[in-house]
Structures are given as C-alpha cells and as structure tokens.
Chain A
C-alpha cells in the first residue's frame, strides 16, 4: 500500500485503533471504552478525571507530563457496565505532537476548556478540528466547560459552548471538578451515547 510506506506510524495506529474498537466492546452488557481528555493546560483535565475516578479534588495537583492513565467502571440503569480507560493528556501546546499516540483508536474524546478563559475555548476548537481530521470517524466527542463554579469570572458563555458543540455534533456540558457538579453526568451521558454492539 502506498500510504503505509509514507505513514508507517499513522497506519499502524489505525490498525491498532480498529483492534481496540473490536475488543473495546467485549459484549453487549460490559463495554470497554478508551477515552481521551484533551484541552489547554490548566483547564482541569486531571481534576475531572480524579474527581470521577477517586471522588477527590486537589487544588494543587501536579502538572501532567506526557499522559497519565486511570480507569473507572460505571453501571448504567439498563444494567450494562461501562469501563472507561481514561488517558489524561498533557496540556501544553507542544505536547500536541504526542497526542495522536493517545487519541488514536479512542472511541471517546472529551475536549475540555475553562469557562473563565476564552483562550482555552479557542484551544478546544483547535482540538475538535484536529480530532475531526485525524480521529476515528465514529468517535463520540464531548465538549466540556470546566470550572463552572467560578461563575463570577465567566468569560465564555454557555451559549457559545453549546452552539459550537451543536455545530460539531458534540455533546456539551459544563462541569466543576471542584464541586463535583455534573462530573458523573458527563460520563453517564457519554456512556449512553456509545454505539452498542448489536446484541445477538
């Protein structure tokens, strides 16, 4: 194949992506999902994950280098369980060079921005475009406005977020890792939107 020689990296990634898509859903009742968090530095990606997985909030969490991994299983009302394998990526711009490593083969991408920072909203849009270009086409995408507890400092209206999400067929929610507001809802909503394997 012509493309495999020119893009060895990408190509193998796609293969492994298919792989994990296949193995991603072990059966109709127990889903396994690779989820990647993307977004500007300091918008609270790690905090969202920590809140979701451990129920904790640490206002002085560490800088994430490269990426870090955590997993969490939730049960839905229809008695299916979803195991999220969460890759929390580094936020600094140059680490974007490594991001494909993590979002390749992911079936969910959560793009996070900080509602007090228009710049981070810009960055979120960059990520959405990047994912549309290079992510797997049936990826479930969520746009998350974090730090919703800092209402008085809000600079990105929820209207803007919602409109952008709608335009790009994403699921939109505003969360606060600090107060735990909407964090579980975020993941539950994602779980509901996952394509279910045909029950046979």
Chain B
C-alpha cells in the first residue's frame, strides 16, 4: 500500500512514466498523452459498470455456503506439491469454520521443521491481505467464480495425474523407467484427487443455479473484456487465479524461512547448485526489472527478491526463469507480497504450465501452433515473411514468453492480462498475437527486407495504445481459436519439439557417456536426499539431461531405499535389472547417436555434392568472365580507333576551315578590288562626261570663234571698200589675237589644236602671218 502511494506521488512529478509508473519510450510520450484521456474516460465508464454489476450481485444474494466447501478439493492439488497426503482445506482468508483445524494438521510437518524461525519471519513478512475488505459482494461473487475455475481445473487434473506438468510432457519422449517411478509415487494421490473432485462435481451441479450462473458468467465476461477498474484489478486477478483457494497458511513464510536458513542447507529442498544458480540469476535480474519504477525502491526490490526466491524453492521444476521477474514485479504493484506469490503460482503452474521449465517445451510448442494459425489466417502475410526469410516465431516468441510485457503499451498489457487471467488459459495469448498481426499485417506486407519488417512490427506493436481495439479484435476476431483447437494443435506439434530436445539431450549424453556410470554409482551412495526430495516435491521434470540423469539415480535409490527399509534378499536381482536397464539405455543412446551420425554424414555428403556443383558453376562463371573481359578489350580497342579517326577528322576539318577562311578573305579582297574598279570606272565616266562637256564647249567656242572670224572678215571686206569698215576691222583684228592666246593657254588647247590639224595653215607660222593667209584664203570662200 505504501508503495502504491509512493509511486502515485512520484508519477505526478515524472512525466515520462505512465499512469502505472512504467517508463514510456520517448517516441511514445505524445501518443500516450493523446490516449490518456481516453483511458480516463474508459476507466470511469468501467468502474460505473462494475459498481452496478457488483451491487446487483450482492442484491441477488450470496451463494450457498456449500460452494465454499467445494474449495476443499483445491488443497489436494496444491498440497501435492508438498507431498502432504492428507488433503486439507485451505482456510486462509476464508470464513469457513472448518479450516483452522485442517490447516494445522496439514502443515504440521512444516511447522515442526521451521517452527522457531518461522514466527519471526512471519511477522516480518506479514504481507497478506484478504480480498474481502473491499466489498463483501465482490468477495462472494469471486469465490463462486474461483470455484468454477477450480472445478474445471480439477477435472483436468484428474486426467493429468496431479499438478506435475513434466510428467505428462516427458512421458512420450522420456525413458520408461522414470515414468514408472513417477506413477508409483502419484498413484494414491491421483485416486484421492479424482475421487474427491468427482463427488464434488456432483454436489456442485446439484447446487449451482444454472440459469443465473450462465447469464452471470456472460455478463462478467463482457465486463472483463471491457477491462477491470484499476482499484479492483489486483483483487479481481487474485480471484480469477483462485489465490484464496490456493493459499496455504504459512507456506510462503516457511519458504522464506528456508531462504534464511539456506546457509545451513539441510532444509534446502533443491540441489544447492541449482538454488545458487537461481539466486545468482535473480540477483542479476532484480535491478533490471522495470528499472527506475518508483515502486521498486529498495523495499520493493526486496519484496521481489523474496517472492522469486520463494517461488524457485516452491517449484524447482521451474525454479527461476527470466520473464518471471516481470510477472512478479507487475503483481507486486497490484497486490501484497504473499498474494502476489500465490497469483504467480497459479499463472506459472496452470496458465503457463510447462512454459518456463528448464526445456521450455510448451513455449516452443506454442510457437509452432501459432505459426500454423498464422498460415491459416494470414497466408499472404506469412508468404511475404517467408519470402523475406523471417520466421514468425522470431517475433511472436518474445511476445508469448513475456505475455506482452514490454512489448505493447501497459494499458494494453493489463487489458490482455485481465482476459487471460479470467479465462484461465492461453487462448487470449494467441488471440492477441493474431490481433496484432491482423492490425499490422498490411503494413508489414509493404516492407522490402527482413530487418525492416521486424523493426516495423516491433515498433507498431509497441505503439498499440488503443487497448480496447486490441482486446476487441482479439476476442471477437478469432472466435475459432478455442482452447480445444489449441490443445489439438499442441498435441500435433509437441512431438516435433520433444524430438529435437531429445536429440540434443542424447548428444549431450553421448558426450558425457564416459563418466555416466561412475557418476550414477556415486550418486547412489552419496546422495540420499533426492528420493526424499522427490517425494516431497513430486519430482521435478526430467526433460533436461541433468534432471534425467538425476531421476535415473533416484530411481536406483528408490530401490536401495526400499531395500534398506525392508530386506536385503532381492537387491541383487533388482540391481541387475537396473544395470540392464542402464545398459539398454546406453545401447539405445549409442544406436541413436549412430543414426544421427549417419544423418549428419548424409547431409555432409549432400553439401559436398552441392559444393561440387558450385565448383563447376564457378568455373563456368570464370570462363564467362574471361569472355566478357575479352569483349571488353575489343570494345576498348575499337573505341581507341574511333578516337583516332575522330582526331584525324578533326584535323582535316581544321584545315578545311583555314582554307575556307583564306577563300573568304580572298573574296573580300576581290570585292574590295571590284569596288575600287567600279569607283575608278565611275570617276573615269565622270571624267569622260566632263571631257565631253568641255569638248562641246570647245566646239561652241570654236564655232563662236569662227563666227567671230567670219564676222571680222566680213567687217574687213566692208572696211576695204568703205573706210569706216576698214577702221573697224583694224580695231577688231587688234583685239582678236589676245583671245586666241587665252584659249591656247588652256589645258585642252591640244584638242582644239587637234581639231584644227586638218586645217593646213593654222599651226606653225606666227599668228599674224597665217591669219592674213587664212583670211586671204578664206576670202575666196566667202
């Protein structure tokens, strides 16, 4: 109780923990926050429902007191472990009046053994609380419920020769001698138990009100699937598991007392080696159980240690198995220490019988069963996983072994546990795993490699915060997965698991063969305890090589012990029988190992053949590689040539370019020249034109000159006759010579002269003389 308070307080301060005080992964904090309100609402709703339900139950009246007495069969089952022959009723918290007496008688043995220390320890431990104080109604209803579970259990148990899982499991595989031995021990108890339970069943069928019972059960089932209210969970779990009926007064304290004595050793039931091993392992694991959880302070850890050690002592066939630390830790958070112990007893020995034993047979069987169910339900997903090389058991194994603790969020874990503990079997375990696969299968199918698939599934499962969806999917989606179906599948797959285990064991034994006999002989003489121990504890499993060996020896010892107490007449024969048996065993072992070796050789041969193939293949590959290399070389050559060609081409092209350039420049020159020519031509034409004009002018001038000359000569004639004409002619002839000179001084004087070439008199002799000549010559013309 104090723990609870403490961690409630701490939880407020520490945001990275959920409502139960468990650490949240950083990536989940956000989602948890989103869901925490939903959780709160759900919680309120369900506590209302439960209250109503419980009120109704209490109104409808308590169940007959006879029901209470039916619990008496329980003790048989539990007490078998203590090898107490007399079945005593477990009164513990119960109010039935008969109990005290039976209790004391039943536990007499133990009390004698540890009387003195026990008192102290008991006071120190004192961690037992009855469920009752909470609500009378719950109590009654639960005790009724417990009886129902218990009854079924008993029926099962009669089939099973008591509460010894290993016996049944090793039966098919194990040696024959052990079995016989076991049966001898159990026989009387079996008869006891079966007789009892059958009579009780008769009573219960008479007594139980069938109608109300079924409606009641259905209603309860519905409520359980909806989840248990937090404040009732611990007690309801205990009720489901049947803690009150399991409990034996002082048994737990006695176990603890033994623990305290373990130094002395004489009361230590299990071989001290094993107990040391467990103690060591438990020590290692305690700080690694919900590390940092507020309730697991030093006080809480001590509780956990006591609980686990007590359990190991209580059931040596299981001892301590990793995962139990988590179960125990969880239970301690919900209930007092001793209650947790008995709940753990129920879970490990009934719900998960054979799961956490040395060979873990049932857990292996369950994996095969689960895989088959997966193939049935999700062929596509399994095909994909096969394709990726992922085995379903890689992932589901840890789920099953941890009952989902640390695998899915806590709210979901608790909801699943609610149903598992209520139903009393592993059906919900399978259904939940299937539901997770159904929820996340579609995502897994999209993955491309094994690592991604596993990582994705792990992280998706880890974020299954919608606990209601999970539980609903599990319960409603896989109705075909029933206990009967599971049992059928388990029967089907168990032989394969046993075979493998047996084979390993054989190998181990062959290995140890040389010292086998000697050690057996040795254990004969030096180890008187095992027999007693076996009687006390109804023998541990023989599934391990060590255990098997031990039970061998104890088998012999039993004979010896029997001889000791009786007569010495038979021992020789018996011993011979035993020796022969041992001999036979070793021969069988040798045969098996020979067969195995043959098989190994066969596989080795196969591998050799395969390797041969590989050689051929690799040769071929090499050849091909060479060819490829050659082709590549050729390709490279070709490329080189190509490159050269390209270079040549480039050069040619360059030259071409150069010539082209030259041509272009030449063309340019040409054009320039043409232009120049053109310009010259133009100039020439202009010049010619101007020359033409000049000539015209000259012609005009000449004609003018001629005209002038004619005029002059005309004047002269006129003057020669009339005087005036002469005077005037004189004057003008004086003027004319300068004019002529001016014309001649011009550059084109030549032309003028040329034109006048044809005229005979004009050039040469001076002006004065020709002119007169001309005039003289012209005179006749006129």
Which of A's residues lie within 8 Å of B, judged by CB?
2-3, 6-10, 16, 19-20, 23, 26, 32, 34, 41-42, 58, 60-71, 83, 85, 87, 90-95, 97-98, 101-102, 105, 133, 198, 200
Contact = CB atoms under 8 A, between A and B. Distances in A.
A20 B389 contact: yes
Contact of A94 (B321, B325, B405): B321
Name the 6 nearest CB pairs between A and B, nearest first.
Answer: A66-B398, A60-B291, A71-B451, A20-B389, A85-B451, A65-B402
Contact of A63 (B325, B358, B503, B621): B325
B291 A68 contact: no
Nearest to B319: A94
B301 to A, nearest CB: 12
Given A20-B389, A20-B450, A62 B397 contact: no
A94 B284 contact: no
Contact of B602 (A3, A34, A62, A67): A3
Contact of B503 (A7, A58, A70, A98): A7
B475 to A, nearest CB: 25
SS of A interface (majority): mixed
Contact of B359 (A6, A23, A66, A94): A94
A9 B496 contact: yes
Contacts of B292: 60
Given A20-B450, A32-B449, A98-B397, A92 B322 contact: yes
B321 to A, nearest CB: 6
Given A63-B285, A101-B391, 12 more contacts: A42-B284, A60-B287, A62-B289, A65-B406, A66-B400, A92-B322, A94-B356, A95-B322, A98-B360, A102-B394, A105-B389, A133-B507
Contacts of B358: 94
Interface in B434-487: 449-452, 454-455, 458
Contact of B455 (A41, A61, A71, A105): A71
A102 B401 CA distance: 15
Contacts of B451: 32, 69, 71, 83, 85
Contacts of B518: none
B599 to A, nearest CB: 5
A41 B284 contact: yes
B391 A66 contact: no
A19 B496 contact: no
Contacts of B360: 94-95, 97-98
A34 to B, nearest CB: 8
Contacts of A98: 360, 363-364, 397
Contacts of A105: 389
B500 interface: yes
B228 to A, nearest CB: 24
A3 B450 contact: no
A199 to B, nearest CB: 10
A105 B391 CA distance: 11
B602 A97 contact: no
B328 to A, nearest CB: 12
Contacts of B287: 60
A26 B450 CA distance: 12
Of A9, A58, A62, chain B has the most CB atoms within 10 Å of the CB of: A62
Contacts of B391: 16, 101
B170 to A, nearest CB: 14
Interface in B352-411: 356-360, 363-364, 367, 386, 388-389, 391, 393-395, 397-398, 400-402, 405-406
Interface in B281-299: 281, 284-285, 287-292
A9 B322 contact: no
A94 B288 CA distance: 18
Of B289, B291, B451, chain A has the most CB atoms within 10 Å of the CB of: B451
B219 interface: no
A87 B406 contact: no
Of A63, A70, A98, A102, chain B has the most CB atoms within 10 Å of the CB of: A63
A64 B398 CA distance: 9
Given A20-B389, A32-B451, A62-B291, A97 B364 contact: yes
A90 B503 CA distance: 22
A195 to B, nearest CB: 13
Given A3-B599, A20-B450, A65-B406, A10 B322 contact: no
Given A60-B287, A102-B394, A66 B401 contact: yes
B656 interface: no
Of A61, A85, A94, chain B has the most CB atoms within 10 Å of the CB of: A94
B55 interface: no
B223 interface: no
A90 B401 CA distance: 11
A131 to B, nearest CB: 14
B389 A16 contact: yes
B501 interface: yes
Contact of B394 (A62, A65, A101, A198): A101
Nearest to B393: A101
Given A7-B499, A20-B450, A94-B358, A63 B288 contact: yes
A95 B364 CA distance: 11
A7 B394 contact: no
Nearest to A3: B599
A92 B321 contact: yes
A200 B625 contact: yes
Contact of B281 (A41, A69, A87): A41
Contacts of A26: 449
A72 B348 CA distance: 36
A116 to B, nearest CB: 13
A65 B398 contact: yes
Given A19-B389, A65-B323, A97 B455 contact: no
B603 interface: yes
Given A60-B291, A61-B288, A6 B499 contact: yes
Interface string B605-649: 000000000000010010001000000000000000000000000
B500 A90 contact: no
A89 to B, nearest CB: 10
Nearest to A102: B394
Contacts of B603: 3
B326 interface: yes
Interface string B577-620: 00000000000000000000001001100000000000000100
A170 to B, nearest CB: 22
A93 B364 CA distance: 15
B292 to A, nearest CB: 6
A92 B503 CA distance: 21
Nearest to A19: B389
B333 to A, nearest CB: 16
A69 to B, nearest CB: 5
A35 B367 CA distance: 22
B738 to A, nearest CB: 115
Contacts of B455: 69-71
12 contacts: A7-B499, A16-B389, A19-B389, A23-B388, A41-B285, A65-B322, A66-B402, A67-B398, A69-B394, A92-B321, A98-B364, A101-B367
A14 to B, nearest CB: 8
B497 to A, nearest CB: 8
Given A63-B325, A198-B621, A87 B499 contact: no
A108 to B, nearest CB: 14
B398 A61 contact: no
A101 B368 CA distance: 12
B22 to A, nearest CB: 11
B602 A63 contact: no
Contacts of B405: 65
A6 B502 CA distance: 11
A87 B503 contact: no
Interface in B250-284: 277, 281, 284
